Amino acid sequence: MDRASLIKKGTWQRQDFRDVLQGLNDSYPTPFDPWPEAVSRSAGTFTTYDQNRFRQVTRSGAQLPSSSNVRLIDTRTLASSLQGEFPAIRAEPEILFHVEAGITMADLQKVLDHQHPPLAFRATGGSPGATLAGALSTATHGGEFNTPLLVDCVRAVHIVGPGGEQWWIEGDTPVADQAKLQQRYPKIDPAHFIGAGWNGIPGLSSQDVLDAVVVSMGTMGVIYSMVISVVPQFGVHQVVHPTSWLELLAAAGTTEKALRAGDAAANAAVLNALMDGTINGTGISKAKNEYIDLAINPLNLDCWVVNREITASLPEDPNNAPAGIGDYMTAISRALQQHSRDGVLGQMSTGRIFDFLSWGTDLVNLILHDPGAVTGLLQFLTASGDAVGTGMGIGSAQAILNKVNQAGNPDRGHQFLADLLSGLFHALEGTEPGKNSDYTAVSHEVGAIGWPANGVPGRGLEIALGPENAFTFLQTVLIDDVLANTVTAANQPLLGYISIRVCPRTKSLLGMQQYEPSVMIEVVAYRSPESNNIMDTIQQKAVTWKLLEPRPLLHWGLENDQVDHAFLVQTPLGAQYKAGMTRLEAFKAVREFLRHGRSPVFDNAFSNRIGV
C-alpha cells in the first residue's frame, strides 16, 4: 500500500523549480494521495492547474482571470508526503516527517495517523484548513502550554528563494546527509546547504537561520517542503466547562477591580485558574492539564473553559459523536427560550425568532398579515449562495434596528444575538448550561473545529501578551472599553467570539509568542460595517497600549495593518538578540543572505511596513 500510494501521487520532482517564479509548468500538477492507504479518497483532493487559461482548478483557493502580466504560485499543489523518500537523505534517528508544505493541516494529520506506527504532532497548529507552510510561516498555534510550539518542531526547510535558487536549511540538529541530499535534490548545491557549523553571517548560526525562515510570513521565498519532529499517536481527553467571566474570576479568587488596577497577582490568579481544572470546573488537575482555551461570548460574557489531558492508552473510537443539526437546533432553542415572551404554536423559541424579525406571533398575523414571510426568508437565504453569511448579516442589521426602535424590549436587540451565540457555543462545545462536555479521541480528532469550506466574510486579529498584563488588557480594553462603549452603547453588534489560549515562548525570531508563557487573545467577528469599526478600534488600542510592559504583538496570519517598524522596535522583537542585533535585524540579515544578490522579488508593502 505504501508503494502504491507513492506511485499514485505522481512523478517525483516533475516541476522544474528553476521556473517556479515565472509560472507553473502546464503538465506539473499530477494526482497525489494525501492519505496513504486510503487510495479511494485521494480523487476528492486532486487539484490541477490550467496554465493556458490561467486557472487553478481546485476546490478552494485563488481563481484569477487570464493575464500575461500575472503569475500565480499555488502552493496547495505541493501536498504530497515525502516520507517514503526521506530515509535516503536523513541523518538522525529522531522521529521526523518530511512533507510538501502546501498540504493542509487537516490532511497532514490524517497522513500522520496512517503511518506505521501512527504518528501525530505533539502540539497542534490550529486552523485545520490552513496549509502547513501558511500555518507555520505565521506562527499559528494551539493551546498546548506545556510542549514546544509546532513552529519550534521544524527541523529543516527546503525553500525556493529569489532567482529560483533552492536552499536546504536545518538547525543545530543534523537532519540530512549532505551528500545523499544533493544526490536526491541535485539543484541544492553545497553552497545552498545550511546546517551545523555554518557561519555565513557573523554571529549567527544555522539554527538562527532556521528560526528566521520558519516564521517568515512569505518574505523569504516559496517553501517547498518541511521536516517536522513528530511523536507516536496519542489519545486526548477533553473537558469543556460552561461558566461566565465573573464566575471564573470568583473561582480564581480575584476581581475585575484588581485586574483594572493592573495587579500582577490578579493576572497570575486568572492564568492559574485556567491551568487548573480543579479550580475552573473541568476537573482536570494542573499536573495533568496540557491545554487551555477560554471562549467568551462578547455580548454577554458567557464563557467556556477547555482543558485536555493525555490518555493512558490510545482510544479506539471517539466516545461522543460530533454535534449534528439536531444538537444545534436543541441548543439554540434552549438558549432563545430564556427571554422569550410569546410562542408560536406553543414553541417559545420560535416565538422569540418571530418577535426578533418583527413578525406577528399570533394565529391571525400568521395567516393574514405575514403570509409567506418564513418561506420568503428561506428562499432569500438559499438564493444568496452563502446562507451562513447572509443570515449573520440579517441578524446583525435587525438587531441594530430593534435596539434603536424598541428600547423597551432589550430581548429583541443585542440580547437576542447574545442568546443565539451562547446556543451556538453550547452546540459546538457539546455543553449545556451547568453541564460539562466530555470527549476522548485520538489527538487530531479533538477540537478540530473550522470554518465552512467556502468561508464566511469575517474580521479577525490576535494579540499576544505576557502573563503579567494579559488579563488586565482583556478587562480594561476589551470588556470595559470596546464591548461596553463601541459595541453596546454605540449599538454596533459583534457577531463572533473572544478566545484566550496559552502557549510557551517560541524560539523563532519573529513569532509573536515572545512571552513566558504567551497569552493569546483572539477576536473574530462576522464582517459588517459595525464590526469593521470594532476590529479597527481593537487593533488601534492594542498597538497604542502602554499601561503595562511588555508591549503586545499581533498575529502575522490575521489583521496587523496598523503594525509598523516603529511599533515593533518597542516590542520584544526590538530587544537585543545576539551579535549586537535585535530579532528584527537578525531576521533582515537572513533575508539578505538568502536573497543572494538577486532581485528582491519577495519584498512587498508588508515587508517594507515592518522594516525587514
pLDDT at position 62 is: 46
> CATH code at 29?
3.30.465.10
The reply to whether 530 and 554 lie within a common domain is yes
How many residues does the structure list for the chain?
612
Asked whether the beta carbons of 297 and 428 are under 8 A apart, the reply is: no
> CATH code at 316?
3.30.70.2520
Classify residue 388 by burial, with Cβ atoms within 10 Å: 0-12, 13-18, 19+: middle
Other C-beta atoms closer than 10 Å to the C-beta of 8 total 16
The reply to whether 441 and 346 lie within a common domain is no
Domain-located, residue 347? yes
The reply to whether 588 and 491 lie within a common domain is no
Other C-beta atoms closer than 10 Å to the C-beta of 369 total 11
- Structural domain harbouring 534: 239-320+436-562
The reply to whether 53 and 190 lie within a common domain is yes
Domain-located, residue 368? yes
The reply to whether 421 and 389 lie within a common domain is yes
Domain-located, residue 567? no
Asked whether the beta carbons of 102 and 77 are under 8 A apart, the reply is: yes
Domain count, the chain: 4
The reply to whether 490 and 349 lie within a common domain is no
**End-of-domain residue from the set 396, 429, 462:** 429
Domain-located, residue 119? yes
Asked whether the beta carbons of 308 and 237 are under 8 A apart, the reply is: yes
The reply to whether 223 and 249 lie within a common domain is no
Query: 91-103 b/e with 16+ CB inside 10 Å = b?
Result: beeeebbbbbbbb
Domain-located, residue 476? yes
The reply to whether 417 and 458 lie within a common domain is no
Other C-beta atoms closer than 10 Å to the C-beta of 540 total 11
The reply to whether 146 and 37 lie within a common domain is yes
**End-of-domain residue from the set 414, 429, 444:** 429
Where do the H-state alpha helices sit in 10-115? 105-113
**End-of-domain residue from the set 232, 258, 288:** 232
The reply to whether 215 and 342 lie within a common domain is no
The reply to whether 313 and 217 lie within a common domain is no
Q: Which residues contact 47 (CB under 8 A, 6 or more apart)?
A: 29, 56, 57, 58, 59, 74, 76, 77, 79
CA distances from 583 to 217, 572, 595, 610 (A): 15, 8, 18, 12
Q: Which residues contact 354 (CB under 8 A, 6 or more apart)?
A: 342, 344, 360, 361
Domain-located, residue 506? yes
The reply to whether 156 and 21 lie within a common domain is yes
From 417, 248, 429, select the one nearest 331 (Cα to Cα).
Answer: 429
Q: Whose grid coordinates read 476590529? A: 535
In angstroms, the CA 560 to CA 308 distance is: 31
pLDDT at position 92 is: 59
Domain-located, residue 372? yes
In angstroms, the CA 236 to CA 239 distance is: 10
Domain-located, residue 249? yes
Provide the phi-psi class of 535: left if phi over 0, else alpha when psi is between -120 and 50, else beta. alpha
Q: Which residues contact 555 (CB under 8 A, 6 or more apart)?
A: 138, 139, 140, 461, 462, 463, 464, 512, 520, 522
Q: Pick out the chain residues at pLDDT < 70.
A: 1-80, 83-93, 125-126, 321-326, 343-346, 348, 351-352, 357-411, 448-455
